[in-house]
Amino acid sequence: MSSLGRSSIRPYRGVYPVVPTIFADNGQVDLEGQKRAIDFMIDAGSDGLCILANFSEQFLLTDSERETVMRTVLDHVAGRVPVIVTTSHFSTDICAERSKRAQEAGAAMVMIMPPFFGATLRVAEAGIYEFFRRVSDAISIPIMIQDAPMAGTALSPAFLARMAREIAQVSYFKIEVAGTAGKLRELIALGGDAIEGPWDGEEAITLMADLDAGATGAMTGGGFPDGIRQIIDPYFAGNREGALVAYERWLPLINYENRQCGLSAAKALMKEGGVIRSDFVRHPLQPLHPETRKGLIEIARRLDPLVLRWGL
């Protein structure tokens, strides 16, 4: 399933799943497993990839591990698809430095959440604006703002559109909050051509509504990009009915990932299909309950995704 034709140049669009960080059973980063995960995800039709995101367990990696994973992935991808590197940090200077290193290593884009820390430490709009302006000034690749509940920060469509118009590199938006479709519509209406990439997220659980609202990309889990392509490809080709049928078919698995498994879903599927040796998640995260894992695999087998065949 070739994807280079539509994703190798801007505007980036399509399916850009989050790459899980692969660990051995002892908890150490498994770079060979990481490369296999990358190869599978490209073979499964990913238009691009996103690394070091929340679904990559980025909050459980040391700075040194982040750097190693980033450079390993970018070197191994070697330009086959664009790679987005998540560089979020509360510190403006650290986020800017992370973003510069990502660009120098070959990232096509950086994804950044608004600055927050813990349950209560938030930044007002003036500080958020200046944060993204300074990061933008440090790089020459696009910034994707991740608008997700984890940040606990209200980002109005008007404010996001203003940043898109006024801050050079702010041009992509991953919207994954309640009422995403409505927010996407308003963002696109207010931002116009400055909104280069209105994307959805949250494992594509609201993908059809978001496509109808104008989404041009989806950042999903990494276990079944081929399934998400079956929804997006016909939609972009003008076959909404075909997309809807595919969405109905894949939604039980999307829902099971989103509601039951979270970031563990991709690893469990990859291990089941021989892509990786271990589906280890770092403590304090807990492994999937055996019955939950069984339910995930049962639903997936009905759909025959590449992940369950790739490494066998």
**Rounded-to-integer distance, Cα 236 and Cα 23, Å:** 36
pLDDT above 60 (res 6): no
According to the model, what pLDDT value does residue 116 have? 96
Q: Could you tell me the sign of the dihedral formed by the alpha carbons of 64, 311, 250, 268, in that order?
A: negative
Partners of residue 217 on adjacent β-strands: 14, 199
Whether the pTM exceeds 0.85: the reply is yes
pLDDT confidence bin for 9, thresholds 50/70/90: confident
Contacts 24+ apart (CB under 8 A), 309-312: 309/273, 310/40, 310/43, 310/44, 310/273, 310/274, 310/275, 311/36, 311/40, 311/270, 311/273, 311/274, 311/275, 311/276, 312/273, 312/274
pLDDT tens, residue by residue, 50-95: 999 999 999 999 999 999 999 999 999 999 999 999 999 999 999 9
According to the model, what pLDDT value does residue 289 have? 98
pLDDT above 90 (res 97): yes
pLDDT tens, residue by residue, 257-299: 999 999 999 999 999 999 999 999 999 999 999 999 999 999 9
| Rounded percentage of the chain residues whose pLDDT exceeds 90 | 96
pLDDT tens, residue by residue, 194-217: 999 999 999 999 999 999 999 999
35 among known catalytic residues: no
Hey, how many other C-beta atoms are within 10 angstroms of the C-beta on 304?
Answer: 12
pLDDT above 70 (res 3): no
Catalytic residue among 35, 100, 174, 267, which?
174
